[in-house]
Amino acid sequence: MTDPRSRPPRRRASNRRRRDANLADWDRSAGLYERLHRRSLTREGGRAWGLWRVPERRLKLLDDVRGEDVLELGCGAAWWSIALARDGARVVGLDFSSRRLAQARARVRRAGVVVPLVRARAEAVPFASGSFDLVLSDYGATTFSDPYRTIPEAARVLRPAGLLVFAHASPFRTVAHHAGSDRMRPRLQRSYFELHQVRFGATREFNLAYGEWIRLFGSVGLSVERLVELPAPRHGSTYVSRPDLPWARRWPMEAIWRVRKTRVPSEGTPLSTAAERATARSPGRRRRSR
């Protein structure tokens, strides 16, 4: 069976270009991001989810984290990591952006908590299998990294019965986004079956159709417990422009998954098949949707 990490040279170069573009954008915009969204990020002491900053005390997506080992994928300035460390968890923050990790180090130091920070890609997590009770990502690495690599890695480092909880763009948002105006449209703008890599400005984001998310989870021993989709609140969000709020009150702009590791995949399960399927899809080879 083909090693899922082996790719033709052209595919590796394409993947590097995508990573470099995303990394450059985050390094460039790190300071602006924190200034624009500081008020939203501080809400609930950092214990809030997604674009709408919905409190964890309302959604109850996490179990009791006291004494648990937690990995945050794409930790940014470590808002979630610090909050969970204050709740008694042993947290590690992982990010690929040096600028974001510098922000995280400063915030961790000011907070007076212990949160080791690691520069690495979520597609190649530098920890042993079965190291964590919870893997968490709030519009972090699960948005900007290939799910066919990131989800298997998250499952690998989870212990049996461990949780993966992550927020990212809804497939509805991806298919209805109009690239030219950077606005949401009531008509579909791209194929639902070609969501794997989508360009948004200078970066590429990743998504899958719902059925493919569920198939991918199952292939690595993860079972879906909850999928949260919420309409835009009245107060809006610093993350969403005002003209897009009416759209976001009719259709979900984000999805938050809670999935649990219920088994350890045996060798030869569709891990490689999933990765092969992803690498076979190239933005340059897509059919234009009508």
3-state DSSP assignment of residue 164: strand
Alpha helices in the chain (DSSP H): 9-42, 56-59, 79-86, 98-111, 141-144, 147-157, 171-176, 210-219, 245-248, 271-280
- Confidence band for 194, pLDDT divided at 50, 70 and 90: confident
Both tokens of 270, joined, read 């569709």
pLDDT tens profile 14-43: 555 555 656 555 556 555 656 666 777 777
Domain range summary for the chain, segments of one domain joined by +: 9-284
CA distances to 29, 50, 64, 129, 225 from 55, rounded to whole Å, are 26, 9, 15, 31, 19
CA 73 to chain centre: 7
Contact in structure between 148 and 142 (CB atoms under 8 Å) = no
pLDDT at 46: 86
Q: Domain 9-284 is classified in which CATH homologous superfamily?
A: Vaccinia Virus protein VP39 (3.40.50.150)
Both tokens of 65, joined, read 């984290």
**Residues 228-248, mean pLDDT to the nearest whole number:** 88
More reliable by pLDDT, 94 or 270: 94
- What is the Cα–Cα distance from 274 to 153, expressed in whole angstroms? 13
Both tokens of 107, joined, read 């915030």
The DSSP call for residue 240 is B
Q: Quote the mean pLDDT of the chain.
A: 82
Return the sign of the alpha-carbon dihedral for residues 29, 34, 40, 42.
Answer: positive
More reliable by pLDDT, 243 or 235: 243
**Residues 175-181, mean pLDDT to the nearest whole number:** 86
pLDDT at 290: 29
Q: Does residue 188 register a pLDDT over 60?
A: yes
Q: Does residue 52 register a pLDDT over 70?
A: yes
**Residues 101-110, mean pLDDT to the nearest whole number:** 94
- Confidence band for 2, pLDDT divided at 50, 70 and 90: very low
Q: Does residue 45 register a pLDDT over 80?
A: yes
pTM (2 d.p.)? 0.81
pLDDT tens profile 115-158: 999 999 999 999 999 999 999 999 888 988 899 999 999 999 99
pLDDT at 10: 44
